[in-house]
Every structure is written in C-alpha cells, then in structure tokens.
Amino acid sequence: MSLGAARSTTRPTLTSTAPASGAVVGEFPVHDADDVAAAVGRARDAAAAWAGLGFDDRRRRLAAYRGALARRAHELADLVHRETGKPHADAVLEVTLAVDHLAWAGRHARRVLGRRRVAPGLLAANHAAWLEYQPLGVVGVIGPWNYPVFTPMGSIAYALAAGNAVVLKPSEHTPAVGVWLADAWRTAVPDAADALQVVTGAGETGAALCRAGVGKLAFTGSAATGRRVMAACAETLTPVLMELGGKDAMIVDDDADVAAAASAAVWGAMSNAGQTCIGIERVYATSAVYDRFVAEVTERVRGLRPGTGDGAAYGPMTMAAQADVVRRHLDDALAAGGRVVAGGTVEGRLVAPTVLLDVPETSAAVREETFGPTLTITRVRDAEEALARTNANPHGLAGAVFSRSRARAMDLARRMRSGMTSVNSVLTFAAVPALPFGGVGDSGFGRIHGADGLREFTRAKAITRQRFPLPVDLMSFTRPAGAADALARVMTLVHGRHR
Ligand code: NAD
C-alpha cells in the first residue's frame, strides 16, 4: 500500500516546499515505527511472491516500470525541479540515468545471479557443485535529496531485479518524488504492487526502518548520518550499504587538453549547484598548465548564472542550511589566505559560481564536503604530487584525470584512492550501468550498479549434490587407515611440482 498524503488526518505531517519559491509541493505523513513495521510486513509478504516470479517475469515487470517512467519523464522531472530547485533539463538527465539502470538490472540479473555449476575440486570430485545468489527478502532504502530519483533507484532497481521487495524512505526534503516513484510502480506493476513501498518522514522514520528487521539497509547520505544508521542496524545485525559523501578531485596533468579539462571541471563543480556527491570540489593542476587552466575556468564560470528562470545554469541551494555550509567554507578559506577569483557571494539560497585559489590543504574548503558551486584550484609540481594530495583526503568517492597520455592517465586513475575515476571527462562512470558505484574510506562501502550492485542485494548460496559414492569415503569414520597416505600421494602428484 502506498502511504501517501491522503492518510494524514491525525498523525504529524511534513510539508515539502519548493526551494525556488517557497510554494508548497505537498504534505506527507510522518510515519512512525508502527507504520514502518506494517510497510515492512507487507513488503515481506510481497517479497515471497516477487522472488517466486523468477528472473524473466521480474524482468518484464521492471520493463513495464521503466516504460512508465520513460513515458512520464517530463512529469517526474517537473516534480524533481519543483522539489529540489534543479533545472528541468538536469532533472530529465537524472530520470534518463535511472531508467537506464532499471533496464540493465532487469536484463542482467539472470546472468549475474542465476544458478551456475562450478568445478568441485579434488576432494569433492564425485559431487556436483552449484552457486546461486538468493534475494535477502526486504531491502530498506534511505535516500538523500540531491538526486531523489537517480540515487535511490541505484538501490531500488538492483534490489528488485535480484528478487527483493523494497521499502523506500526518501529524504524529508523530497518526499513527493519518493511517493511518485512508488505510486508509478503500483500503477505499472499492479500484481506486485507491494514490492515497492514508500514511508515518509525524517530521521526517526529512517531509524525505524533500520530497526524493522529488513534483510539489508541501503543508505545514501552524509557520513554523520551513516554512522547513526550503522549503529541502529547493529542492534539487529542488519547488514548495511553505505553510499556517503565525497570530496572528489580532478588531476590536470602537463599534457592535458586544458580547455576540455576546464569545461569539465566547471560542469562537475557547478551543475546542480554543486550538490552532487560525485561533483568535482578540488582541482590539482600541474605548474605547466595551472595558469592556463585557471584562466579558462574563470572565463567559463563568469558566463554562468544561478537562478530560477529559463537561462539559469543551476538553481538555488535545495536547503538554506546548505548555503550556510558554503558560506562557512568560503570564510574559512579566505581567513586561511585563499583568494576568490570568481564569485564568492551567497545571497539567500543563491550561491555565485565560485573559484578559489591558494587555499591551504588543511582548510575546510579542501578537506570537507562543501556541496556547493565552488571549486578550489591548487598548483602542484607534477601529477604525482596531485595524486598524493588527492589521496590524502579521508573521502574516496570518485575523481577525474585529464591527460593526453593514455597509459599515464590510466595509471593515475588506478592509483587514485576512490571507487570511480573518469579519464578526460567527469562523472561518466555513473552513466555506465555495468560499472559499480561506491566509495572507500569516509565515502562508504558496498556497491550499487552493475553486477556488483546486483550481488550486493543477495546472499551467495552454495549447494553440493553427490553424484556417486566413492569406494572410499574420506569424510567418514569408516575410512581405511591407509587413506591419508593415498590422499597425500595424489596431492603431491597434482600440486607438488609447483615451486
Ligand atoms: P543526510 O545524511 O542528512 O540524510 C540522508 C537520509 O538519512 C535522509 O533520508 C534522512 O531523513 C535520513 N536520516 C537522518 N537521520 C537518520 C537516522 N538517525 N536514521 C536513519 N535515517 C536517518 O544526507 P542528505 O543531506 O539528505 O544528503 C546529502 C549527502 O548525501 C551528501 O553528503 C552527499 O554527498 C551524500 N550522497 C551520496 C551519494 C553516493 O552515492 N555516495 C549520492 C547522493 C548523495
């Protein structure tokens, strides 16, 4: 059952407002622990039937869902635009990414998770051995507000394709989008309507979902909340997936296409008002390209206008509190000797596209997630120094390398301490459904997307079946005294020649 606005007569409610205008987008119930338990209970019932459908019937239903999202993309994008403040075109891009992941997850689940036979090995040569990945039952998904479709869908699509039911708790800043996604599911897949449900509310509703006995809790949000989620899940030994914040860096090497790197850095840093977990927040440019890079970035940034109208490059900060974080980081950077070469103003929720130079590595603008349309650019001796500085941050979500040398760029990308790296572009890995998405260090653990994302929402199940008995059963008290010697001789024959 969808727990939409209609039920909210006596219970407390939360109001979602448009960041751009303050207009009310919708009012939603604050679901308490009993509501969450009821939703999880219904999902548990639905999970058995959903898993029982098998891969092909689930694939067909996931296709119906993605078809509905694709046909109603503008309607959904409009809601995302109203609730987050991001431009409609960016919201369409977000919906497209989510639809692509739904397609990949549905199509590849059988190949990745289906039962397969594996080699039994020496000791079990008379057995057949099978591996399959079974669903966990109900997966709880707690989402953030910055990409309210793409981010939860990274868990929802893969969890559903793997045979789980899902209970989604969207951010209290974007409940309307969460409720829309669940309602669209009910309409598109009526015979498995309860396989995707939504509960609305803030942290307490999320905490109730952590304690509701779900098979896994997929959390996307800040590291601070992630710690609380892990602590709550630890009470019931509920496994967790942690998709947390980042402080992604771009490395611009001596031989980079500087104009392309500047263009990518500006998009990576400023789009969605910088409220992107995999947004570029810091750049390390080598001395050979630093001046040209700064000039290119500064010129491009001057052409960007934040706002709410048609020509706006990006919208207001989704939450007023986020503008305060940006202001704090700016003040801190300037106090530490940093220089503003573009932007630097915060008016209400509108933050000018801001470029900072000479900011010490110890300041908040370089160490902490800013989550605003700001970029620090730091001159480094060479790419090795850039990599060392990149890797010194406790976050490790993603990053980018710009270099014309394929071998050099690939080497830097592989040594970057992050879950994902794009070479000569930004954010591209997120658009490749076959690639896993997730971080290291303070950016979390576990993976969504791709084959790893499918396996994340399963448990590996091992089965052996004896095909024929051996004349001598080594795992029996009836084995003859000389069996161990015979076994040692066979082992020496097979493995003993290796030195
Ligand atoms: P947040 O941590 O404030 O909230 C995330 C979610 O957790 C919300 O739904 C919130 O209601 C819920 N929550 C709050 N307290 C809780 C509790 N005690 N128990 C359970 N749930 C609780 O994060 P946010 O401000 O919504 O999102 C921004 C953060 O998310 C940024 O750090 C960003 O980088 C990160 N993010 C990461 C990814 C990724 O894939 N790695 C993607 C998008 C955003």
pLDDT tens digits, 86-145: 999 999 999 999 999 999 999 999 999 999 999 999 889 999 999 999 999 999 999 999
Pick the catalytic residue: 172, 243, 281, 369? Answer: 243
With cut-offs at 50, 70 and 90, classify the pLDDT of residue 20.
Answer: confident
Distance CA(16)–CA(422), nearest Å, equals 35
Query: What percent of the chain has pLDDT above 70?
Result: 98
For residue range 473-490, list pLDDT tens digits in order. 888 999 999 999 999 999
Give me Rg for the CA atoms of the chain.
26
Q: What is the mean pLDDT of residues 216-230?
A: 98
- Nearest atom in ligand 1 to the alpha carbon of residue 228 is 18
Q: What is the mean pLDDT of residues 335-348?
A: 96
Pick the catalytic residue: 277, 296, 368, 456? Answer: 277
For residue range 406-442, list pLDDT tens digits in order. 999 999 999 999 999 999 999 999 999 999 999 999 9
Q: Which domains does the chain have, with CATH numbers?
A: 13-244+449-459 (3.40.605.10), 248-432 (3.40.309.10)
Cβ partners under 8 Å of residue 309, min gap 6:
none
For residue range 262-310, list pLDDT tens digits in order. 999 999 999 999 999 999 999 999 999 999 999 999 999 999 999 988 8
237: exposed, middle or buried (Cβ count in 10 Å: 0-12, 13-18, 19+): exposed
Average pLDDT, the chain: 96
Q: How much is the pLDDT for 10? A: 77
Structure tokens at 333: 């950077």
Structure tokens at 397: 């979500």
Q: How much is the pLDDT for 101? A: 97
Q: How much is the pLDDT for 153? A: 98
Q: Read out DSSP for 188-201? A: H-GGGGGGEEE---
Alpha carbon 246 to its chain centroid, in Å, reads 11
Q: How much is the pLDDT for 358? A: 97
The whole model's pTM is what? 0.95
- Nearest atom in ligand 1 to the alpha carbon of residue 448 is 40
378 contacts 388 by C-beta, under 8 angstroms? no
Q: How much is the pLDDT for 9? A: 57
Q: Please, what sign has the CA dihedral across residues 358, 363, 369, 372?
A: negative
Helices (H), 271-363: 287-302, 320-335
Cβ partners under 8 Å of residue 399, min gap 6:
248, 249, 250, 251, 280, 390, 416, 418, 420, 421, 422
334: exposed, middle or buried (Cβ count in 10 Å: 0-12, 13-18, 19+): middle
Active site annotation includes 369: no
Ligand 1 pocket test: which of 16, 80, 142, 329 has the largest number of ligand atoms within 8 Å of its C-beta?
142
